[in-house]
A = this chain, B = another copy of it.
Amino acid sequence: MRVLNDIFTPAELASLRTDGPIPLYHQLYGLLKQRILSGVLARDAPLPTEAELSAGFRISRITAKRGMDLLASDGLIVRRRGRRSSVAYHPKGTEPDAPLVGMLARLAEMSRETKVKVLNIDLRLPPPNVAAELGTDAHEQVHHVVRVRFDQQGIPFAYYESWTRGIEHGFTAEAIEQRQRFDIMAENGHRISHIEQLLNAASASPLVAELLELHAGDPVLTLVRQSFDEDGLLIDLLNCQYHPDRFHYRMNLSAEEYLA
- A239 and chain B: residue at smallest CB distance: B38
Cα separation A34 to B258 with both chains bound (whole Å): 35
| Neighbour of A200 across the interface among B119, B215, B249, B251, CB < 8 A | B249
A253-B197 contact in complex given A40-B129, A120-B11, A207-B11, C-beta closer than 8 Å: yes
Task: Name, among A31, A41, A191, A199, the residue most crowded by chain B CB atoms within 10 Å (CB to CB).
Answer: A199
Cα separation A205 to B22 with both chains bound (whole Å): 11
Task: Say yes or no: B12 contacts A257, CB within 8 Å.
Answer: no
Give, as a whole number of angstroms, the nearest-CB distance from A102 to chain B. 7
Cα separation A200 to B11 with both chains bound (whole Å): 24
Cα separation A248 to B221 with both chains bound (whole Å): 11
Q: Chain B residues with Cβ under 8 A from A258's Cβ?
A: 102-105, 195
Q: Chain B residues with Cβ under 8 A from A34's Cβ?
A: 203, 205
- A216 within 8 Å of B (CB atoms): yes
Q: Chain B residues with Cβ under 8 A from A166's Cβ?
A: none
- A160 within 8 Å of B (CB atoms): no
Give, as a whole number of angstroms, the nearest-CB distance from A128 to chain B. 5
Task: Say yes or no: A15 contacts B216, CB within 8 Å.
Answer: yes
Q: Chain B residues with Cβ under 8 A from A217's Cβ?
A: 22, 27, 30, 217
**Chain A contacts to B: CB under 8 angstroms:** 6-7, 9-12, 15-17, 20-23, 26-27, 30-31, 34, 38-42, 45, 97, 100-105, 119-120, 125, 127-130, 146, 191-203, 205-207, 210, 215-222, 242, 244, 247-255, 257-260
Q: Can you list 12 A-B pairs, Cβ within 8 angstroms, ordered by A? A: A15-B210, A30-B205, A30-B206, A31-B205, A45-B128, A97-B198, A103-B258, A105-B260, A194-B254, A195-B258, A196-B251, A219-B220
